[in-house]
């Protein structure tokens, strides 16, 4: 029988509910349990696909093509829970579904209301993940207790235990215990208020996870326990981790969170097996090398816009015992200052995906710099588009070559709209999305990195390489290392004779895990390390 864990957050946003939920999922899996992860987002957008990265950070794409919240990236990196459309619902989707049912007459003339119609819809979305082969469903509620948008979701999870049985549900509340410098002490009052608000709507949390920057003394834990009506063992400290997010599960285990959950839900669990995770954190903490990789993007200054790329680079770094210093470079600043000053210290250059014209020329210049100087380069999606534009203009000699996304009247449309996109006008969920197979050219760098010739990778784009130019590109040294199975779409291009120049139409970063880095990103990091070491040797000779 499936059991349910609900994770809510209070006091402030950005407390790391996603990471905490992912860590809980990982710990339960490491105790032999079968887990499913889910996030419910109270905002009204149908999905984050149309939201600005400044507002929402990265859009995380799943195999089935759903465009989801970036917390789902944490779920995939920490657990094996299969994710799908059912793993992320927003208020927009919930209302859309209820309104469609109303239009079809399914409510038989009743007045349609938040309670019970919206809350029933939310509960049915949670229940969709339960199955005979699922021990625990972990549902994270986005936002903060007290937000107007969160109310129907909190009400739905309150009702949930009436249907599923109190013993089968566990409510975990993540809160902040701030340290007040002026008073020289940790403050528990915000936690008391936040739990007070939850209790007002009928939810008594079973476990409190307290984010703190300092160790939480027993006195404070006792106080929180008493005022919030939980046993003291259920007040769990989660100290800020300035080192790595992959340490979070280890600190939760120190506070016996896994035992507490297993006992409370009466789960049949095995002893905890964390050796490989401890080894991973050990490797991360004790690198043998250090390299720097420039990520040249439009949203470089935004911490979350390229989240999965930064994580995937770290995963590849762990595999190569290498700490990666990421230089976040605004592509526009390359237009102003030139690539030499900003990029000559980098061991490798990565151009991520993106939309819109701002900063395009800076990316093209950065790629020219990488190509001409033999600096390892990885282009992702828009990064492939910019690499093709650069090659067309500067190697093939096609002046004014561009993508029709940015210049409809270019004399050389190297990148153009996918045929299936030409008649589409809606913005939401209409790109070429999700997992698509590709065939790799044997002996290409990519085929060697993957160790196989058929792959599946996740996509999110409208534009593609224009096949009219394939011949000219190939004649000038481009290898079309990956294509769709019918060879009609270019998925990977490489440049012959360059130490590592690989551009991909898909997003490898979504399939990288700390325990198994993505082959192309691992190959890119290895090339960066080799360059770093050969540069070091060259300086020593001088």
Nearer to ligand GLN, 141 or 305 (CB): 305
Largest CA distance in the chain: 85
* Part of the chain binding ligand GLN (CB under 6 A), chosen from 93-101, 116-124, 284-292, 455-463: 455-463
Smallest gap from Cβ 295 to ligand GLN, in A, equals: 14
Question: CB count, 10 Å around CB of 232?
Answer: 12
Among 246, 463, 480, 500, binds ligand GLN (CB under 6 A): 463
Residue 406, CA distances (Å) to 53, 78, 359, 400 in order: 19, 38, 11, 12
Question: Is residue 458 near ligand GLN by the rule CB under 6 A?
Answer: no
How far does the chain reach from its first CA to its final CA, in angstroms? 69
Nearer to ligand GLN, 192 or 467 (CB): 467
Residue 261 to residue 259: CA distance in whole angstroms: 5
Active site residues: 381, 507, 509
* Part of the chain binding ligand GLN (CB under 6 A), chosen from 20-28, 211-219, 460-468, 526-534: 460-468
Residue 204 to residue 167: CA distance in whole angstroms: 13
CA angle 172, 178, 179 (to 5 degrees): 145
Site string for ligand GLN, 382-401 (x = CB under 6 A): x-------------------
* Part of the chain binding ligand GLN (CB under 6 A), chosen from 150-158, 175-183, 273-281, 458-466: 458-466
Which residue stretches of 345-422 are H helix? 360-373, 382-391
Nearer to ligand GLN, 337 or 420 (CB): 420
Smallest gap from Cβ 422 to ligand GLN, in A, equals: 13
Nearer to ligand GLN, 107 or 355 (CB): 355
Smallest gap from Cβ 216 to ligand GLN, in A, equals: 42
Question: Is residue 462 near ligand GLN by the rule CB under 6 A?
Answer: yes
Residue 326 to residue 346: CA distance in whole angstroms: 9
Q: Which residues contact 322 (CB under 8 A, 6 or more apart)?
A: 287, 288, 289, 290, 291, 525, 529
**Cβ-closest residue to ligand GLN?**
353
Among 41, 335, 405, 457, binds ligand GLN (CB under 6 A): 405
Number of residues in contact with ligand GLN under rule CB under 6 A = 10
Site residues for ligand GLN, 335-364, by CB under 6 A, read: 353-355
Nearer to ligand GLN, 56 or 320 (CB): 56
At 350, is the secondary structure helix, strand, or coil?
Answer: strand
Among 381, 386, 478, 489, binds ligand GLN (CB under 6 A): 381
Smallest gap from Cβ 291 to ligand GLN, in A, equals: 25
Q: Are 73 and 510 in contact (CB under 8 A)?
A: yes
Write the DSSP string, 61-121: EPTT--EE-THHHHHHHH------GGGEEEHHHHHHHHHHHHHTTTTTTPPP-IIIIIHHH
Residue 364, CA distances (Å) to 161, 252, 351, 479 in order: 55, 45, 9, 19
In the complex, the residues that contact ligand GLN under the rule CB under 6 A are: 353-355, 381-382, 405, 460-463
């Amino acid at each position: 029988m499936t059991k349910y864990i609900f994770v809510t957050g209070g006091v402030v946003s950005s407390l790391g509910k996603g990471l905490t939920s992912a860590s809980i999922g990982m710990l339960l899996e490491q105790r032999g349990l079968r887990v499913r992860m889910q996030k419910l987002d109270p905002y009204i957008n149908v999905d984050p696909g149309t939201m600005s990265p400044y507002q929402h950070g990265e859009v995380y794409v799943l195999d089935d093509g759903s465009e989801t919240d970036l917390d789902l990236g944490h779920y995939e990196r920490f657990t094996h829970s299969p994710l799908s459309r059912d793993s992320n619902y927003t208020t927009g989707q919930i209302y859309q579904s209820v309104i469609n049912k109303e239009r079809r007459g399914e409510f038989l003339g009743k007045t349609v209301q938040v309670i019970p119609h919206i809350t029933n819809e939310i509960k049915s979305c949670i229940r969709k993940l339960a199955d005979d082969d699922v021990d625990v469903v972990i549902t994270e509620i986005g936002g903060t207790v007290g937000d107007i948008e969160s109310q129907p979701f909190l009400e739905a999870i309150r009702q949930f235990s009436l249907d599923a049985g109190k013993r089968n549900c566990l409510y975990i509340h993540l809160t902040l215990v701030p340290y007040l410098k002026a008073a020289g002490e940790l403050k528990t009052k915000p936690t008391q208020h936040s739990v007070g608000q939850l209790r007002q709507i009928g939810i008594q949390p079973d476990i409190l996870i307290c984010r703190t920057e300092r160790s939480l003394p027993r006195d404070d834990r006792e106080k929180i326990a008493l005022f919030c009506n939980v046993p003291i063992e259920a007040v769990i400290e989660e100290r800020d981790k300035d080192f790595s997010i992959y340490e979070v599960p280890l600190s939760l285990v120190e506070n016996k969170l896994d035992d507490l959950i297993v006992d409370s839900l009466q789960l049949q669990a095995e002893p905890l097996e964390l050796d490989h995770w401890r080894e991973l954190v050990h490797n991360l903490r004790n690198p043998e090398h250090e390299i720097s990789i420039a990520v040249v993007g439009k949203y470089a200054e935004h911490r979350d816009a390229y989240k999965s790329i930064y994580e995937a680079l770290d995963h590849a770094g762990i595999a190569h015992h290498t700490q990666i210093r990421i230089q976040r470079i605004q592509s526009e600043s390359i237009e102003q200052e030139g690539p030499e000053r900003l990029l000559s210290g980098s061991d490798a250059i990565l151009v991520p995906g993106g939309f819109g014209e701002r900063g395009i020329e800076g990316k093209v210049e950065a790629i020219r710099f990488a190509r001409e100087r033999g600096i390892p380069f990885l282009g992702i999606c828009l990064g492939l588009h910019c690499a093709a534009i650069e090659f067309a203009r500067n190697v093939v000699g096609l002046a004014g070559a561009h993508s029709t996304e940015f210049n409809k009247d270019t004399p050389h449309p190297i990148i153009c709209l996918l045929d299936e996109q030409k008649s589409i006008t809606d913005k939401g969920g209409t790109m070429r999305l999700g997992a698509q197979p590709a065939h790799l050219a044997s002996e290409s760098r990519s085929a060697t990195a993957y160790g196989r010739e058929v792959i599946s990778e996740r996509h999110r784009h409208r534009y593609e390489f224009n096949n009219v130019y394939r011949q000219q590109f190939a004649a000038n040294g481009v290898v079309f290392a990956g294509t769709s199975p019918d060879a009609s779409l270019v998925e990977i291009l490489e440049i012959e004779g360059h130490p590592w120049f690989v551009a991909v139409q898909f997003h490898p970063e979504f399939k990288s895990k700390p325990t198994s880095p993505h082959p192309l990103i691992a190959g890119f990091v290895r090339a960066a390390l080799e360059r770093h070491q050969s540069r070091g040797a060259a300086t020593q000779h001088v």
